[in-house]
Amino acid sequence: MGQKYTMEEIVTAAKVSGFIYQGSEIYGGLANSWDYGPLGSQMKKNIKDLWWKNFIQMNPNNLGLDSSILMNPKVWEASGHVGGFSDPLIDCKECKQRFRVDKLIEESTDEDLVVDGWDSKQMIKYLEDHNIVCPVCKNFNYTGIRQFDLMFKTNMGVLEDESSNVYLRPENAQGIFVNFKNIQRTSRKKLPFGVGQIGKSFRNEITPGNFIFRTREFEQMELEFFINPNDPKDWFGFWQEEINKFLIELGIDQNNFRVRKHSDQELAHYASQTIDYEFKFPFGWGELWGLANRGNYDLKQHQDHSNEDLTYRDPQDNSRYLPHVIEPSVGVDRLFLSLLVNGYHKEELEDGQFREVLKLSPKVAPITIAVLPLVKKLSDKALEVFKLLSLEFNVEFDFAGKIGKRYRRYDAIGTPWCLTFDYDSLDDKSVTIRDRDSMEQKRIEIDKLVNYFKDLI
């Protein structure tokens, strides 16, 4: 079951209003690359700030990190990414189109089938048994399955040979693991503690698509939470609850997300337990946020490959051990798309006209308040209200066009409140606040605005 509105409607709304543009558009674009416009970049920043606040700033156990994208290639050998981070690929011999076999199978059925973890034989058998033809030319004539490497490779320095190969990181997590010792030593943190990072990741995806759902360049917000393996507290459950609270704080309707547990076959080689928070996109349920118990896999791998002692000395009994890790990991772009889908509505008004409204939480809406002088000649005075509010909030000032049209524009870009400065404002030192969702209006004194909005947000 998908959503009420199509992806096309969501993508059009996002492009038209300036949230997202096609990447390199004036040169005909670059496949599946997207640029976040003025509204999109502000909203993305708000999402990241809110994550940082909830997962780092307000948690006494957690710290932040900003590690580099390019790392010693040995990092990726140790983590298992070099030679092991790939997707199964198949070609149609008739029309030469290329597909990710697991997605080809999953998309051929309405069942909630998860093919991750199947071997090539199982996938070929499924294609044959269910006669899954090429979605493009409708023939059944495929090559065998090959593994396609997802790592983006480049060269560092002047030489372009094997010795200068480096990779763009495919996840943030490894930057955290390789810094575990530094962080623990310099912060003097005791277990349990977490290290979080927000940053770009790169994967040479075979089938990017669905707008910003799956791209080759994307941003992740990852937390690696280090624990004593004998800690009786259910930290996996704790972080599951934190994810849940965060999604609700963002205003995501509880009917739009669900939890799916990975089967044993599907589990990644490093994980002993994984769940995905899935979101109901217009094209069906899709992974939004992963929560994994990575055990001590990563620290052990890095310890073995670097010959550095990465163990932790327990202050209770001086024993040394490798901590275990619980990892909540979410893509910023996917969360962004979820918020667009969750918030997008078309409503019929009493006069028979339609309005587009993006019901975004004030915590992430790119513009929190629009200050609108009723007519242009009230601009100077209205600008004083803008100046007052812009010290605290993201505010836009707009005097162009009829007031009704301006309301419509701010509804469509998710601005929770419009303030209208009219002739009466000159005398009563008050403005009219219009609420985006209810469209109700009320009068409030200018002096009280800052506290009024602080309370609301």
Residues engaged in binding ligand GAP (CB under 6 A): 171, 173, 203, 205, 214-215, 218, 220, 222, 287-290, 327, 329-331, 333-334
- Kindly state the smallest distance separating residue 116's Cβ from ligand GAP, in Å: 10
Quick one: angle between helices 403-412 and 7-17, nearest 10? 120
- Kindly state the smallest distance separating residue 67's Cβ from ligand GAP, in Å: 13
DSSP states of 364-415 as a string? T-S-SEEEEESSGGGHHHHHHHHHHHHTTS-EEE---S-HHHHHHHHHHTT-
- The H or E element that residue 330 is part of is strand 324-331
DSSP states of 185-222 as a string? HHH-PPSSEEEEEEEEEE---SS-BTTTTB-SEEEEEE
Q: Nearer Cβ to ligand GAP, position 214 or 406?
A: 214
User: Token pair of 35, please?
Assistant: 């640029």
Q: Nearer Cβ to ligand GAP, position 290 or 416?
A: 290
Which residue is closest to ligand GAP by CB? 331
- Kindly state the smallest distance separating residue 108's Cβ from ligand GAP, in Å: 21
Amino acid letter, 264: D
Q: Nearer Cβ to ligand GAP, position 272 or 329?
A: 329
Whether the bond between 366 and the residue before it is cis, its omega within 30 degrees of 0, is no
Q: Is 61 exposed, middle or buried (0-12, 13-18, 19+ CB in 10 A)?
A: middle
Q: Nearer Cβ to ligand GAP, position 44 or 214?
A: 214
- Kindly state the smallest distance separating residue 333's Cβ from ligand GAP, in Å: 5
Pair 382, 327: CB distance under 8 Å: no
Helices (H), strands (E): how many in the chain?
Answer: 14, 23
Q: Nearer Cβ to ligand GAP, position 48 or 436?
A: 48
- Kindly state the smallest distance separating residue 331's Cβ from ligand GAP, in Å: 3
- Kindly state the smallest distance separating residue 378's Cβ from ligand GAP, in Å: 45
Q: Nearer Cβ to ligand GAP, position 14 or 330?
A: 330
Distances (CA, A) of 331 to 51, 166, 182, 251, 288: 11, 23, 26, 17, 7
User: Token pair of 75, please?
Assistant: 């990092």
Q: Nearer Cβ to ligand GAP, position 258 or 443?
A: 258
- Kindly state the smallest distance separating residue 168's Cβ from ligand GAP, in Å: 13
Q: How many CB atoms lie within 10 A of CB 86?
A: 15
